[in-house]
Amino acid sequence: MLKGILARVAAVAAMVVLATSCAAIDPQVYAEEKPTLDLQQYFNGTLVGHGLFMDRSGQVQRRFVVTIKASWAGGVGTLDEDFVWSDGEKERRVWTLRPVAGQPGRWTGTAADVKGEATGTVAGNALNWSYTFMLRTKEGKRYDIDFDDWMFLVDEKVMLNRAVMTFWGFRVGEVLISFTRT
């Protein structure tokens, strides 16, 4: 009896994994979209982003403003991000971006609270990042949250960002941001 229940649970879990793994969008579907995103051009200078975090039901939990000071040296980018959250919390994250040698449009990124390397692909006006964020709670617990992070260049000044967050394959939230170059 228990064996049958476990087999059914395993089968359902496998179907969920298969269904969600087939749903990924290939960034190349945006290859012909304009304006064409050049990371070194867009993320250069000061940018301001207005965003929000929604839980898995879609309810807004927190809002934020992020100021990014972006610069490049020797083909390596630095995005120095300062967040101010609606509850008064302040947060800082520094990303280091590098092109992948011999693979046009492919990028890696690192930050102190990102596990390993983020991998990214630019195609047309779109950038898709995949990474694991090490989320720390106020109680000191750590959760490794996977991000499927999409950015779309609207014009030379505006970029829209939507990141879906999952934990063990289950959607736990979403981040929306509108960036503007100043």
DSSP-assigned letters across all residues of 13-65: HHHHHHHHHTTPPPGGGGTT-SSPP-HHHHSSEEEEEEEEEEETTS-EEEEEE
The reported pLDDT for the residue numbered 138 is: 87
Collect the ranges in the chain with pLDDT lower than 70: 1-23
- Note the pTM of the prediction, 2 decimals: 0.86
CATH number of the domain at 26-181, please?
2.40.128.20
Q: Could you state, in order of their start, the residue ranges of all structural domains in the chain?
A: 26-181
**What pLDDT, on a 0 to 100 scale, did the predictor assign at position 3?**
58
pLDDT computed for residue 98 by the predictor? 98
